């Protein structure tokens, strides 16, 4: 297993659990807003093979309000 694979998988899992928590009734949204950016920034590079070799992260559709 690659050295960052375990960290990547753990961080993605934590982000998913945080998203589920944020969707619960009574969730502390201030906590979610404080923790989610830190988790997202801490993601290491994706392990090799996660995306196809020709994957272009900038090749998707424009976000609402964004012009091409």
Q: What is the pLDDT of residue 1?
A: 58
| Contact partners, residue 44, CB within 8 Å, separation at least 6 | 4, 7, 8, 11
For residues 40, 45, 46, 52, the Cα torsion angle rounded to the nearest 10 degrees is 120
pLDDT confidence bin for 50, thresholds 50/70/90 = confident
Q: Is the pLDDT of residue 34 over 90?
A: yes
State yes or no: pLDDT of 23 exceeds 90: yes
Rg, the chain, Cα only: 15
Query: In this predicted structure, what is the pLDDT of residue 52?
Result: 83
Average pLDDT score, the chain = 84
Q: What's the pTM?
A: 0.64
pLDDT number for residue 7: 83
């Amino acid at each position: 297993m690659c050295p960052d694979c375990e960290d990547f998988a753990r961080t993605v899992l934590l982000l998913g659990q945080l998203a589920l928590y944020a969707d619960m009734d009574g969730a502390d949204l201030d906590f979610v807003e404080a923790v989610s950016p830190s988790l997202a920034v801490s993601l290491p590079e994706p392990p090799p093979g996660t995306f196809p070799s020709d994957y272009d992260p900038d090749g998707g559709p424009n976000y609402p309000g964004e012009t091409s």
